[in-house]
Amino acid sequence: MQAVEDSPIASQMPAHTLKQILHASLVKEGLVIMASEMAREKPVNGNTISLCLQCSSEEEIQTYFTKLSSGGKIIDSLKEQFWGAKYGELKDKFGIIWLLNYDKNQK
């Protein structure tokens, strides 16, 4: 886990965010789920988190994006990004924000 205060962006962030978790990762058998307390919506209240799911193929990211967005809201549709990945964001029907990423250069 990495707190905002321990990151390179700490000096650019408001004081109330410094103790929040910027990045946390859970890894098991090739599945990587990343979480963060940082959210686009302001103000952030309660236990707001976003989860980042690292996908292993175009098919996988499309399947997860379609299923997770069903009954929810697409924040940023799946598209090619400057960092060499396909990426999209959504809020599922339970209010959880999901960040889906497929790095095409992964090995």
3-state helix, strand, coil in the chain (%, to 5): 20, 40, 40
pLDDT at 48 over 80: no
State the CATH class of domain 20-103.
alpha beta
Residue 41 has what pLDDT? 53
3-state DSSP call for residue 48?
Answer: coil
Please state, for a pLDDT cut of 90, what percent of the chain lies above it. 37
pTM of the model: 0.63
| 84/51 Cα distance (integer angstroms) | 20
- What are the tokens at 13? 């962030």
Q: What is the pLDDT of residues 95-107, one digit of tens each?
A: 889 999 999 887 5
Between 9 and 100, the more confident residue is 100
Q: Where are the domains of the chain?
A: 20-103
C-alpha distances out from residue 34 to 12, 38, 39, 65, 71, Å: 22, 12, 13, 16, 23
Q: Cα(56)–Cα(65) distance, rounded to whole angstroms?
A: 13
Predicted pLDDT at 42: 54
> Which pLDDT belongs to residue 27?
81
User: Could you tell me the pLDDT band of residue 50, with boundaries at 50, 70 and 90?
Assistant: confident
Residues 6+ apart with CB under 8 A from 62: 78
Average pLDDT over residues 44-71: 86
CB 67 within 8 A of CB 81: no
